[in-house]
């Protein structure tokens, strides 16, 4: 009961404190950083192997199995995808959102480097890449015409860009 009485008796002080708190809130809101497309970085990596002349069966037996054996030991895997074609293998690993992207990337590198001794010597390329959703283009448009001049297409593109 003393606090309300104190606030009423010293109303000038109360008004000044409310004004200062309101002003600091407005300043904080105005200076707060914001982004239209904030960078979202879920941890993930791709392992790409190019082995020319290998059939998908050879790729699976000689390349995919040793690499996946090591990668399956990793923790916090959310999604694991492997694509095999003639002479090409791509493993995409997505980790849980609360995982540290740099730590998981170094874990993937470590597992792939361990598996390197079990891989064929004549592999053309072995690459590990870290990726993020913010690296992906979300919208891409192209204008084309058989009859329109370049300048007309350029003007239409500018008008479309303004509308978007």
The 3-class SS string of the chain reads CHHHHHHHHCHHHHHHHHHHHHHHHHHHHHHCCCCCCCCCCCCEEEEEEECCCCCHHHHHHHHHHHHHHHHCCCCCEEEEEEEEECCEEEEEEEECCCCCHHHHHHHHHHHHHHHHHHCCCCCCEEEEEECCHHHCCCCCCCCCCCCCCHHHHHHHHHHHHHHC
Q: pLDDT tens digits for the chain (164 residues)?
A: 788 888 889 999 999 999 999 999 999 999 988 776 666 667 899 999 999 999 999 999 999 999 999 999 999 898 999 999 999 999 999 988 888 888 899 999 999 999 998 999 889 999 999 886 655 556 667 788 888 888 888 888 888 888 77
Q: Report pLDDT digits (tens) over 34-69.
A: 776 666 667 899 999 999 999 999 999 999 999 999
Hey, what CATH class is 44-135 in? alpha beta
């Amino acid at each position: 009961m003393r606090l309300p009485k104190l606030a009423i008796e010293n109303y000038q002080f109360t008004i000044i404190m409310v004004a200062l708190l309101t002003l600091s809130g407005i300043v904080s809101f105005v200076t707060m950083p914001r982004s239209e497309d904030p960078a979202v970085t879920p941890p993930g990596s791709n392992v790409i192997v190019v082995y020319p002349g290998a059939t998908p069966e050879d790729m699976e037996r000689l390349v995919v199995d040793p690499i996946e054996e090591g990668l399956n030991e990793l923790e916090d895997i959310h999604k694991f995808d492997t694509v095999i074609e003639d002479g090409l293998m791509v493993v995409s690993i997505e980790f849980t959102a609360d995982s540290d992207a740099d730590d998981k990337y170094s874990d993937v590198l470590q597992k792939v480097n361990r598996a390197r001794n079990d891989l064929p010597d004549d592999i053309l390329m072995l690459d590990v890449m870290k990726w993020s959703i913010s690296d992906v283009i979300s919208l891409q448009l192209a204008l084309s015409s058989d009859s329109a001049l370049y300048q007309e297409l350029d003007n239409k593109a500018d008008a479309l860009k303004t509308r978007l």
